[in-house]
Chains A and B, each alone.
Chain A
């Protein structure tokens, strides 16, 4: 007779074993290791919640402290490899296999461990892709998640950083998995129920509040004239040109400069209401001046940002908030919004090759992708028109029946020609290819493929790749904005001038921009303190960004 309930019985047994260390669902922080050793089975697929912002760090420490004799060979399926513990478990044998999507601060160590064979890598995914696989072939047996508070029934308040939690819980709880949540405190009644209690099996009152990285805070004091010049070109040459109203910004200084130029330079160009009204974006502090100046209609967020909670609570017309008043973020939905409902993604990268492939991977660092490849791609499933999307489609269409033309998402790379320590952004060959060979990856970790990129903006100009008609034009268009890098100096000057005459390349002067006008005086806020003033004192920046 076929067994149809084996998984369910296994789940019941895990929960039964875990209950020995719990009072109802509640587990004291000191018993985390016992709980995990009781619930986990060798070879389990485990999602240890953590992404580029919040971390289930108490549970991560607990997992790393488990006895590798009892808990071993786990298959970690998680968004972020961010904490040291995320990799420690691979050194001790607690974990063996890994599928993930982002590894900012651990990028160097993960590269070393991949090379050393301590980690069996499945793949480096995008967020949305990994979430999708949670529901198909990477469904977790156990999910270790983080929230702000829970009641004794397990009803969970995630706080403003809801992020991945609903997705992870959905996949685990409804497919015979066990969900363990760490919370900052157990309360009688949660402010709002982000996850209903019947999806949470255990609640751990953590020893310290979960860690959140202020990843999206860019200090205006550090913005350079070059970044301001690039921002001016982007606003005038792309935002205004295509009438971009729905968009996502990356986390770099270039896009933060754009946010700070909207109320000043953008205002001067008369673009208010014409561009940047609807966003899929984390609550960037640098967006505050634009919001306060009436540029922004609404913002949906992947996660929150440290210090923005009071401001968001006071601006429910702009942000998605719960009945309790606090932000409700959701990474899966916001990624989907960025993919399908935005006409433009604009962000930075570390390397761009002659065709326009880009990567944030260097020879010694595997930083992962996060969400950029989703938002930075042209979604072939899109079926609703918009002026920006259709204009880009027309520019890109070379042959075929105009009646069957579809639009194009604008995917814009905003880069300075040289990065930190005079490392060139433009290269003949991406380091990612070398790395893939070195550690035996079947698929090179390319962040955004060339065929998705529509524009590259540097301090030298804008290259509109939609208008390039063959590979040679494309290469010269890229060389033509690559400045004084080897790639840039290797340009065919005559060809570049021809492309410029056709508007494929546009220099600041072609856009009516004087580079010497790119001055910090144009920034709506020149410091974090200015942002606090713009917010009416509602923005509370983390201590490391203060100078008062």
Chain B
């Protein structure tokens, strides 16, 4: 297993007040994402556990794009990956952010 952690500063906090949410399932080609509103409003941390080594730069790019797009300030995001493709990761991250904004 490979562990990756990315920390970002955001321009604003993610809207909404949902304390936590989970989306997705750990299965082949899929992943689960746990989002918790526990960080300062301008911080976002994404921690990933993945069985597929060597994709650090791809994860970094996916996470950076997500942060730029969603501005998920205040969120600690934890990912259990089952070998999901980057587009699936992006989609789940956006789904997770939407759940937190509800």
Given a CB threshold of 8 Å, the question of whether A touches B is answered with: yes
Q: Which residue of B lies closest to A420 (CB)?
A: B29
Q: Tell me which residues across on chain A come within 8 A of B86, comparing CB atoms.
A: 417-418, 483-484
How many A residues have CB within 8 A of the partner chain? 17
Let me know if A416 is at the binding interface, CB within 8 A: yes
Given contacts A422-B55, A484-B58, contact A416 B85 (CB under 8 A): yes
Tell me the bound Cα distance from A516 to B87 in angstroms.
12
Q: Within residues 403 to 423 of chain A, which ones have a CB less than 8 A from any CB in chain B?
A: 416-418, 421-422
Check if A226 is an interface residue, CB within 8 A of chain B. Answer: yes
A489 to B94, CA, bound (A): 20
**Interface contact B87-A483, CB-CB below 8 Å:** yes
A515 neighbours in B (Cβ, 8 Å): 91, 94
Checking B61, B83, B88, B94 against A226 with a beta-carbon cut-off of 8 angstroms, the contacting residue is B88
Note all chain B residues with C-beta closer than 8 A to A416: 85, 87
CB < 8 Å neighbour of B87 from A417, A421, A489: A417
User: Is B62's CB under 8 angstroms from A484's CB?
Assistant: yes
Chain A 460-490 against B: per-residue CB contact (8 Å), 1 yes, 0 no? 1000000000000000000000011000010
Q: Mark B68-102, 1 if CB is under 8 A from A, else 0.
A: 00000000000000010111100100110010000
Contact size class for B? 10 to 19
Assembly CA distance A225 to B84 (angstroms): 13
**Does A34 touch B at the CB level, under 8 Å?**
no
Nearest CB of B to A506, in Å: 17
The smallest beta-carbon distance between B13 and chain A, in angstroms, is 20
> A540 within 8 Å of B by Cβ?
no
Q: Tell me whether A459 is interfacial, beta carbon within 8 Å.
A: yes
Quick check: is B52 within 8 A (CB to CB) of the other chain?
A: yes
Measured CB to CB, the nearest residue on chain A to B98 is A516
B87-A460 in contact (CB<8A): yes
Q: 0/1 per residue, A405-447, Cβ < 8 Å to B?
A: 0000000000011100110000000000000000000000000
Pair A516/B91 contact, Cβ less than 8 Å: yes
In Å, the complex CA distance between A320 and B80 comes to 51
> Which of chain B's residues have a CB closer than 8 A to the CB of A226?
85, 87-88, 91
Q: Which residues of A contact B57 (CB under 8 A)?
A: 489
Are B95 and A516 in contact, with the CB atoms below 8 A?
A: yes
Known: A484-B58, A484-B61, A489-B61. A422 touches B87 (CB 8 A): no
**Inside 8 A of A422's CB, which chain B residues have their CB?**
52, 55, 83, 85
Q: Which residues on the B side are within 8 Å of A229 (C-beta)? A: 91
Shortest distance between the CB of B46 and any CB in chain A (Å): 15
**Distance from B16 Cβ to chain A, minimum over Cβ atoms (Å):** 15
A515 to B94, CA, bound (A): 9
- Chain A to chain B: the 8 pairs with minimum beta-carbon distance, closest first: A484-B86, A418-B85, A459-B87, A484-B58, A226-B87, A484-B61, A489-B61, A516-B94
